[in-house]
């Protein structure tokens, strides 16, 4: 029996139509171009200090880009520069010209992936968008100023200081109090201090000087620094008692603001 075959005529090509193979080639080329631009955009974010890979769980929940762990930032006019370190459990910031490292407390991530960081007294210090754009707030400036990534920076960590130098610098801290408040204040530190803890203890002593200088009328005559599981500050009679937790880094000591508040709120 002869087989039957059916003829299906091709649709006529109209003016301006493109063969199917050409359409396929264009789609593949467009797909390759889009992929190439996505790679370029990813590199641009990396250069700007924003990592798009391996977001932290909090940022992953909102689809936000994970901020750079540590970097140097500056405002467009160059008048304000700071190092921001988010490589540890607590965000840390240090402004150029200010020796204190401030611990920032994050609010829950808001709508659109925005993150607010506050100082020890609850003031807003930074606002970070989901794209890594930073606004910095200083001196009760409610408007804030945009800050852009300037360079890589090492994480903010207390230095390890050899024992002889540690005792010398602690004695110099006592002299610093005399110059700033006009009276002598003794400083006591643990007799045996691990080299890894000396930097934080010395920094706590200097923050104590700042706190005492901010409340010069308070009758503080002694500063005792000890180690413990968590940072703390208390006033007992004429003594300022500071507890540091070296395993927490700079987050393991009270800030100068917290020390000042403790002195001013003493019974």
pLDDT at 47 over 60: no
* pLDDT, tens digit (0-9, with 9 covering 90-100), for 184-234: 999 999 988 999 999 999 999 999 999 999 999 999 999 999 999 999 999
* pLDDT, tens digit (0-9, with 9 covering 90-100), for 225-259: 999 999 999 999 999 999 999 999 999 999 999 99
pLDDT for residue 147? 96
Classified as helix, coil or strand, 102 is strand
Kindly state the percentage of the chain with pLDDT values over 90.
62
pLDDT at 53 over 60: no
Contacts of 158 (CB under 8 A, 6+ apart): 199, 200, 203, 246, 249, 250
Largest pairwise CA distance in the chain: 121
pLDDT for residue 40? 34
Confidence class of residue 32 from pLDDT cuts 50, 70 and 90? low
Contacts of 185 (CB under 8 A, 6+ apart): 174, 177, 178, 212, 220, 221, 222, 223
pLDDT at 262 over 90: yes
* Average predicted confidence (pLDDT) for the chain: 80
* pLDDT, tens digit (0-9, with 9 covering 90-100), for 120-142: 888 899 999 988 899 999 877 78
| Phi and psi angles of residue 94, each rounded to the nearest 5 degrees, phi first | -135, 125
How do strand 222-227 and strand 239-244 relate by DSSP bridges?
Answer: parallel
Confidence class of residue 4 from pLDDT cuts 50, 70 and 90? very low
- What's the predicted TM-score (pTM) here? 0.73
- Is-contact 194 201, C-beta < 8 A? no
Distance CA 140, CA 153 (A): 27
In DSSP notation, 9-62 reads PPPPPPTT---HHHHHHHHHHHHHHHHHHHHHHHHHHHHTTEE-SS--HHHHHH
pLDDT at 65 over 70: no
pLDDT at 154 over 70: yes
Confidence class of residue 111 from pLDDT cuts 50, 70 and 90? confident
pLDDT at 14 over 70: no
């Amino acid at each position: 029996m002869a087989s039957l075959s059916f003829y299906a005529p091709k649709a006529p090509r109209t003016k301006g139509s493109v063969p199917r193979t050409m359409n396929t080639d264009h789609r593949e080329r467009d797909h390759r171009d889009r992929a190439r631009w996505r790679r370029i955009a990813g590199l641009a974010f990396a250069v700007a200090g924003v990592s798009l890979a391996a977001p932290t769980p909090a940022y992953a929940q909102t689809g936000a880009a994970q901020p750079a762990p540590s970097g140097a930032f500056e405002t467009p006019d160059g008048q304000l520069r700071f190092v921001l370190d988010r490589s540890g459990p607590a965000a840390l910031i240090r402004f150029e010209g200010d020796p204190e490292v401030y611990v920032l407390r994050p609010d829950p991530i808001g709508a659109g992936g925005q993150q607010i960081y506050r100082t020890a007294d609850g003031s807003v210090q930074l606002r970070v968008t989901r794209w890594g754009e930073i606004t910095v707030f200083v001196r009760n400036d409610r408007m804030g100023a945009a800050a852009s990534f300037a360079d890589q920076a090492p994480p903010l960590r207390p230095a390890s200081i050899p024992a002889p130098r540690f005792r010398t610098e602690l004695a110099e801290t006592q002299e610093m109090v005399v110059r700033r408040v006009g009276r002598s204040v003794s400083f006591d530190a643990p007799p045996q201090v691990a080299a890894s803890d000396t930097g934080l203890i010395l920094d706590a002593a200097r923050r104590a000087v700042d706190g005492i200088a901010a409340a010069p009328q308070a009758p503080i005559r002694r500063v005792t620094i000890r180690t413990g599981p968590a940072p703390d500050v208390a006033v007992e009679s004429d003594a300022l008692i500071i507890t540091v937790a070296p395993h927490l880094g700079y987050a393991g000591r009270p800030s100068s603001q917290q020390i000042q508040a403790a002195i001013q709120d003493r019974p």
